[in-house]
């Protein structure tokens, strides 16, 4: 895994303090699994709505500037995708809080946000045997530019080595094996993007994260729970069951996203299983994706969404072509029920 950029201060920690914070390290029982519920009834009539469901899911981690909302050659900091922005801030703040707490023998620390509000981090426990750190994060109207976050989360780090606990730098805390985040209610608003989403009863499992400096560039997020609101002004209303998004961006700003697992979009009225044959490719300076092949299935029926190099999206129902849209802009908004 790539380390964050230079400029972070390495802070040591004494064994006495480590033993003081040591405990059983709970919080390990959180799961992204959400069992039960009826399968969606897929038909040729609602096949296009599945295409919009794919776009909605990709938008959670892909920059809206590459999804038809802003034509630029680079990603503006205020145009970050909602889920990536939340994870960047919460993981970074809790890691920073963990370093400060260890170095100053504190149990709670407040990080003031640039334009108002704060993030309070409380280290619940450190378990060197299992390489686990547990922290409670309370985000109080934390505003940075056009973004505002609000709510509480529990963050559970599983580190790569005991040494990371003995010397918890920001670098080592970002070089984790796994992070599990749970929240009963968390909100994110970005007025520049027309983003306004709520995470309800959500568990997020993060792995394989990479960074360019302090900016998240890739990784996998497995999601359980509901996401509602608006992403780039388009309605999103989905329930996720171990729904996994794998994303990566290159130095030029191009991004690929793969999806898998179960998702229940309101317009479909039930669960579908998604698999990725070809990752969705989103050029940094493009209006829409220029590659991708994703299949959604339920009850023995399937809808395949194929994205061509000219951004045209062809929808197949049970392998029969149903409709071709000129771009993602024509698909967005079909799934709003």
CA 127 vs CA 26, 148, 159, 204, 270: distances in Å:
9, 33, 10, 21, 41
pLDDT reading at 211 higher than 50: yes
pLDDT reading at 214 higher than 70: no
CA-closest candidate to residue 233, choices 27, 67, 14:
67
Of the chain, the percentage scoring pLDDT greater than 90 comes to 31
What is the pLDDT confidence band of residue 74, given thresholds at 50, 70 and 90? very low
pLDDT of residue 28: 44
State the burial class of residue 147 (Cβ atoms within 10 Å of its Cβ: 0-12, 13-18, 19+).
buried
Structural domain count of the chain: 1
CB 79 within 8 A of CB 63: yes
Average pLDDT, the chain: 76
Higher pLDDT pick, 6 / 31: 31
pLDDT reading at 143 higher than 50: yes
* Mean pLDDT calculated for residue range 193-205: 90
pLDDT of residue 232: 76
Q: Which residue has the tokens 């992070």?
A: 179
Kindly state the tokens that stand for 81: 């995708």
CB 106 within 8 A of CB 174: no
State the burial class of residue 234 (Cβ atoms within 10 Å of its Cβ: 0-12, 13-18, 19+).
buried
* Mean pLDDT calculated for residue range 217-242: 87
> Which domain does 185 fall in, by range?
40-331
Measured in degrees and rounded to the nearest 5, phi and psi for residue 90 equal -70, -45
Kindly state the tokens that stand for 216: 């998240």
* Mean pLDDT calculated for residue range 222-241: 87
pLDDT single digits (tens) 255-292: 899 999 999 988 888 999 999 999 999 888 766 899 99
* Mean pLDDT calculated for residue range 64-89: 46
What is the pLDDT confidence band of residue 84, given thresholds at 50, 70 and 90? low
CB 243 within 8 A of CB 262: yes
* Mean pLDDT calculated for residue range 34-43: 88
pLDDT of residue 5: 30
Question: Does residue 35 form part of some domain?
Answer: no
CA-closest candidate to residue 171, choices 185, 181, 182, 161:
161
pLDDT of residue 279: 94
What is the pLDDT confidence band of residue 3, given thresholds at 50, 70 and 90? very low
CA-closest candidate to residue 61, choices 45, 44, 83:
83
pLDDT reading at 10 higher than 80: no
The continuous run of DSSP H or E covering 47 comes out as helix 47-59
CB 335 within 8 A of CB 264: no
Residues paired with residue 207 on neighbouring β-strands, in sequence order:
220
* Mean pLDDT calculated for residue range 51-71: 60
pLDDT reading at 39 higher than 90: yes
* Mean pLDDT calculated for residue range 172-178: 71
Question: Does residue 8 form part of some domain?
Answer: no
Q: What is the distance between the alpha carbons of residues 102 and 72, in angstroms, rounded to a whole number?
A: 42
Kindly state the tokens that stand for 334: 């079909």
pLDDT reading at 98 higher than 60: no
Question: Does residue 155 form part of some domain?
Answer: yes
pLDDT of residue 134: 84
Within 10 angstroms of residue 187's Cβ, the number of other Cβ atoms is 18
Question: Does residue 231 form part of some domain?
Answer: yes
Higher pLDDT pick, 9 / 62: 62
Question: Does residue 63 form part of some domain?
Answer: yes
Q: pTM of the entire structure?
A: 0.77
Q: What is the distance between the alpha carbons of residues 106 and 95, in angstroms, rounded to a whole number?
A: 14
Lowest mean pLDDT among 10-24, 49-63, 67-81, 91-105: 10-24
What is the pLDDT confidence band of residue 92, given thresholds at 50, 70 and 90? low
* Mean pLDDT calculated for residue range 135-163: 86
């Amino acid at each position: 895994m790539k380390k964050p950029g230079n400029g972070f201060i390495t802070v040591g920690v004494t064994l006495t303090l480590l033993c003081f914070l040591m405990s059983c390290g709970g919080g390990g029982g959180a799961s992204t699994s959400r069992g039960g519920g009826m399968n969606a009834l897929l038909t040729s009539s609602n096949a296009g709505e599945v295409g919009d469901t794919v776009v909605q899911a990709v938008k959670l981690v892909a920059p809206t500037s590459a999804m038809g909302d802003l034509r630029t050659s680079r990603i503006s900091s205020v145009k970050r995708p909602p889920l990536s922005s939340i994870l960047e801030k919460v993981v970074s703040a809790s890691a920073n809080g963990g370093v400060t707490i260890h170095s100053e023998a504190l149990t709670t620390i407040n990080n003031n946000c640039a334009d108002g509000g704060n993030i309070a981090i409380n280290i619940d426990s450190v378990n060197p045997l299992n390489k686990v750190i547990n922290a409670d994060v309370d985000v109080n109207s934390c505003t940075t530019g056009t973004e505002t976050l609000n709510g509480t989360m529990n963050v559970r780090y599983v580190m790569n080595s005991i040494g990371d606990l003995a010397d918890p730098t920001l670098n080592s805390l970002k070089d984790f094996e796994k992070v599990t985040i749970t929240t009963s209610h968390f909100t994110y608003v970005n007025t520049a993007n027309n983003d306004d989403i709520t995470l309800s009863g959500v568990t997020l499992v993060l792995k394989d994260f990479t960074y360019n400096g302090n900016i998240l560039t890739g990784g996998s997020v497995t999601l359980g729970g509901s996401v509602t609101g608006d992403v780039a002004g388009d309605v999103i209303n989905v329930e996720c069951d171990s729904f996994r998004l794998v994303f990566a961006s290159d130095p030029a700003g191009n991004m690929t996203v793969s999806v898998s697992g179960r998702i229940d979009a309101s317009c479909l009225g039930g669960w579908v299983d998604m698999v990725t044959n070809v990752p969705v490719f989103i050029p940094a300076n493009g209006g829409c994706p220029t590659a991708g092949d994703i299949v959604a299935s339920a009850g023995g029926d399937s809808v395949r969404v194929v994205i061509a190099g000219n951004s045209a999206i062809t929808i197949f129902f049970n392998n029969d072509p149903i409709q071709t849209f000129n771009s993602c802009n024509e698909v967005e908004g079909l799934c709003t029920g």
